[in-house]
Structure 1
Amino acid sequence: MKRLSGWDAVLLYSETPTVHMHTLKLAVIDISELKGRAFGIDEFRQVIHGRLYKLDPFRYELVDIPFKFHHPMWRENCPVDLEYHVRSYRVESPGGRRELDDAVGKIASTQLDRSRPLWEMYLIEGLAGGRIAVLGKIHHALADGVASANLLARGMDLQSGPQSDRDSYATDPAPGGGELVRTAFADHMRQIGRIPGVMRYTAQGMGRVRKSTRKLSPELTRPFTPPPNFMNHMVDGTRKFATATLSLADVKETAKHLGVTINDMVLAISAGALRELSLSHDGQADHPLLASVPVSFDFSRERISGNRFTGVMMVLPIHLEDPLARVQAVHDGAVDAKEANHLMGPELVSRWSAYLPPAPAEALFRWLANKDGQNKVLNLPISNVPGPREPGRVGGALVTEIYSVGPLTTGSGLNITVWSYVDQLNVSVLSDGATLSDPHELTDAMIDAFVEIRRAAGLSEELTVIESAMAQDRTS
């Protein structure tokens, strides 16, 4: 047994019937190399079964504490019913990118069952070109982006040669109510003992901010006033999904030419696309948006569970018409935001979240989810996660693409998540049903925004075609 951290617990408490807190990981797989060898749901379940011993979070079961006396615990090494967790799904014809994206949106529209380990896996068949896809639906309380990337690497054969998979693992008994209360009381005592350290960490951060000579942008000094926008409203329970693929080499070339980072490029591309959609949906784009960008403070390759990140507020200058001015403004704003995060201490929110009482926290998030209004903290979350640099395999079949997206947050109907994989920069967009009738409107706008930046920078407007069937769906 181990207790959820305060940050893990917050991601659990913030879930409501319309704000689902699972993340999605989508892998497109080429099974042509299998040369006729079957790879259906039975074979896929066998692959997962053989890897369960090293996919620890898949064996975690949520255990609530009586009377919500403390944050819940994970029962480790619980039994796993693969007939339930590993499912088959068939997309509609002709099985291209849009049909797959539609299927992912439908699967994302239902919550995970908290009485079982908080994940589901789907083998998606019916794709064009003899492909299949695997979709992982994993609760955010289990893992953040870095942990998910490490978990994904463990689930794939990232190295050639035989795999030492095991057939079974030992299960642990379920705890009794008395034991849960006793351990919760003992943990509360330890938390009380840590309060002076948390207060000292907070005071040190405030002191660094006061002494800093850096003048932060006005948007970052007033982070609780994001402008009203078409994406900010009471979120409904429907989920729609869209993807696009860019060449990582093209993005790196552009970033190097402009003297910025890949993260800056992702934010600048997002800003250009959101400017286009704001002009279309709101009739104006007069004010910069505020995006929460997860920044990890634990990049250990061995970590496959838990959340060790903070949300850094970044300015998206959608009010600037010149694409190169947007890139420079994003870069300058990111420097300010990272400096502010460093000064305050990246673990500030995470440390204080340990003291958030469960019952009031859940009630607060339910009230916010049912309140008809915009998000008062941010406009949307945007993530950029570095994925595997080497191609992976599942059951011997080559993984050609990986897409990932995080959950929607209360009052915000969009999430943009970018994952790099080998030579690709893969864009995923999640929307609720009220924000966009077709989220491909945003992914198309992101490609247009990237071309616009390259044109303004004097680079070729012809984008590199990634040699994969999903990318070809986009260009055809």
Structure 2
Amino acid sequence: MKRLSGWDAILLYSETPNVHMHTLKLAVIQLDDRNRPGGAAPFGVEQLRTVLGSRLYKLEPFRYELIDIPFRFHHPMWRENAEVDLEYHVRSYRVDPPGGRRQLDEAVGRIASTPLDRRRPLWEMYLIEGLAGDRIAVLGKIHHALADGVASANLLARGMDLQDGSNAEQDCYETDPAPSRGELVRSAFVDHLRQIARLPSVVRYTAQGVRRVRRSPHKLSPELTRPFTPPPSFMNHMIDATRRFATATLALDDVKQTGRHLGVTINDMVLAISAGALRKLLLRYDGRADHPLLASVPISFDFSPERISGNYFTGVLVGLPVDSEAPLERVRAAHIAAAAGKESNNLIGPELVSRWSAYLPPAPAEAMFRWLSTKDGQNKVMNIPISNVPGPRERARVGGALVTELYSVGPLTTGSGLNITVWSYVDQLNISVLADGKTLEDPHELTDAMVDAFIEIRSAAGLSKELTIVESAMAP
């Protein structure tokens, strides 16, 4: 048994009937004989269950079962070695014909529209069949309380053959007995005493951050000063339970080349591309784009390659320059805003929110998030989350079959009907967009606009508008 951290618990408490807190990981897999030496048998749901079953001993979060504490006395606990019913957790799904990118994205949206069952380990996996070009896809649906982006990437690597097609592992873990009510209450009481003992160090950490901010010659940008109120927009409202999903792929070398030419990072490029695309949609749906949006950009403070669970990140508020008409001005403004956001985060202390979250009482926290999810208004902290996570650098395999593409997207949060998540994979920069049913009828509007925004930046920088063609699962 182990206690959920305060940050993990917040991601659990913030889940409501219309705000689902699972993340999605999508792998597109090539099944033709070129990628299956020896002409292996077709890969089906039973084979996927066998692959996962042989590796459950090293995929610890997939064995975690949520245990609530009597009387809501403390944050829940993970029973670390619970029984896993692979017949339940691993399922098959068939896309609509002709099995192209849009049909796959629509299937992912439908799967994402239902929450995970908290009576079981908080994950599901789908073998998606019916894709064009002798391909399948594997979709992982994992609760955010289990893992952040860095941990998910490491967990994904453990679940795949990164070196060869060998599948000789054997599942050897043993299940743990369920704890008694008395054990849970005693453990909660002891943990509370530990938290009280740590409180002086949390207060000291906070005071040190406040002093650094006061002494710094740099001040927060106007967009990030109190009261942190983002401008209203078409994407900010009470979201519904429907989820719509869309993807697009850029060549990582094209993005790197553009960034080097302009003297900015890949993360700056992602923010500038997002700003250009969102400006286009703001003009279409709101008729104006005259104020920067506020983006929450997750930044991890634990990059350990061995970490496969837990949440060790903070959300940095960055002013997104949707009000800039010129593409290169958006790049420059995104670079400045990102640097200011990171500096402010480092000054105040990247672990500030994470440390204080341990003291948030469960019952009031859940009640607050339920109340917020029913309010038909905008998110009062930010407009949209935008993530950029480095994914695997090597080609992966599942049961010997080659993974050609990887996509990931985080959840929608209260009052924010869009999420943009970018994962790199070998030579690809893979864009994923998640929307609710009220915000966009077709989220490919945003992915298409992001590709167009990147072309605009390259053109304005004097680079070729022709993009490198990377291997893609299906035509749109």
8 Å contact 2:23–2:411 — kept in the other structure?
yes
Which residue of 277, 282, 287 corresponds with 1:278? Answer: 282
Alignment of 1:19 onto 2:19: yes
Alignment of 1:406 onto 2:445: no
Q: 1:133-148 maps to which residues of 2 (within 5 A)?
A: 133-148=137-152
- Counterpart of 2:322 in structure 1 is 318
Q: 1:148-187 maps to which residues of 2 (within 5 A)?
A: 148-160=152-164, 162-187=166-191
Within 1, Cα distance between the matches of 2:381 and 2:165?
49
Normalised by the length of structure 2, the TM-score is 0.98
Q: Which amino acid aligns with 1:389?
A: R
Partner deviation per Cα, 1:147-186 (whole Å, 9 max, x = no partner): 0000000001011264551133111000000000000000
Alignment of 1:232 onto 2:236: yes
Alignment of 1:434 onto 2:405: no
Q: 1:6-85 maps to which residues of 2 (within 5 A)?
A: 6-33=6-33, 34=36, 35=39, 37-85=41-89
Deviation, 1:224, is 1.9
Alignment of 1:350 onto 2:327: no
- Counterpart of 1:5 in structure 2 is 5
- Counterpart of 2:455 in structure 1 is 451
Within 2, Cα distance between the matches of 1:104 and 1:167?
29
> Which secondary structure state, in structure 2, belongs to the residue aligned with residue 291 of structure 1?
strand
Within 2, Cα distance between the matches of 1:77 and 1:229?
45
> Which secondary structure state, in structure 2, belongs to the residue aligned with residue 469 of structure 1?
coil
Q: Which amino acid aligns with 1:310?
A: T
Partner deviation per Cα, 1:200-248 (whole Å, 9 max, x = no partner): 0000000000000113211122362100000000010000000000000
Moved more, 39-48 or 78-87: 39-48
> Which secondary structure state, in structure 1, belongs to the residue aligned with residue 83 of structure 2?
coil
> Which secondary structure state, in structure 1, belongs to the residue aligned with residue 133 of structure 2?
helix
Partner deviation per Cα, 1:378-436 (whole Å, 9 max, x = no partner): 00100000000000000000000000000000000000000000000000000000000
Normalised by the length of structure 1, the TM-score is 0.98
Deviation, 1:105, is 0.1
Deviation, 1:39, is 1.0
Q: Which amino acid aligns with 2:125?
A: M
- Counterpart of 1:337 in structure 2 is 341
- Counterpart of 1:221 in structure 2 is 225
Over the residues paired in the alignment, what is the CA RMSD in angstroms?
A: 0.9
Within 1, Cα distance between the matches of 2:96 and 2:57?
34
Alignment of 1:327 onto 2:331: yes
Q: Which amino acid aligns with 1:65?
A: I
8 Å contact 1:418–1:427 — kept in the other structure?
yes
Partner deviation per Cα, 1:258-287 (whole Å, 9 max, x = no partner): 000000000000000000000000000010
Within 2, Cα distance between the matches of 1:30 and 1:127?
10
Within 1, Cα distance between the matches of 2:268 and 2:226?
22
Which residue of 313, 327, 333 corresponds with 1:309? Answer: 313
Which residue of 360, 374, 384 corresponds with 2:364? Answer: 360
Q: Which amino acid aligns with 2:290?
A: D
Within 2, Cα distance between the matches of 1:176 and 1:460?
65
Within 2, Cα distance between the matches of 1:287 and 1:98?
32
Alignment of 1:242 onto 2:246: yes
Q: Which amino acid aligns with 1:21?
A: M
**Structure 1 residue runs without a partner (length 5+):** none
Q: Which amino acid aligns with 2:31?
A: I
Within 2, Cα distance between the matches of 1:453 and 1:9?
40
- Counterpart of 2:375 in structure 1 is 371
Alignment of 1:205 onto 2:209: yes
- Counterpart of 1:424 in structure 2 is 428
- Give the 4+ runs in structure 1 shifted more than 4 A: none
Within 2, Cα distance between the matches of 1:161 and 1:322?
48
Count residues with an aligned counterpart: 472
8 Å contact 1:223–1:313 — kept in the other structure?
no
Q: Which amino acid aligns with 2:22?
A: H
- Counterpart of 2:388 in structure 1 is 384
8 Å contact 2:165–2:397 — kept in the other structure?
no
Which residue of 258, 269, 287 corresponds with 1:254? Answer: 258
> Which secondary structure state, in structure 2, belongs to the residue aligned with residue 207 of structure 1?
helix
8 Å contact 2:165–2:399 — kept in the other structure?
no
Q: Which amino acid aligns with 2:241?
A: G
- Counterpart of 1:194 in structure 2 is 198
Moved more, 155-164 or 25-34: 155-164
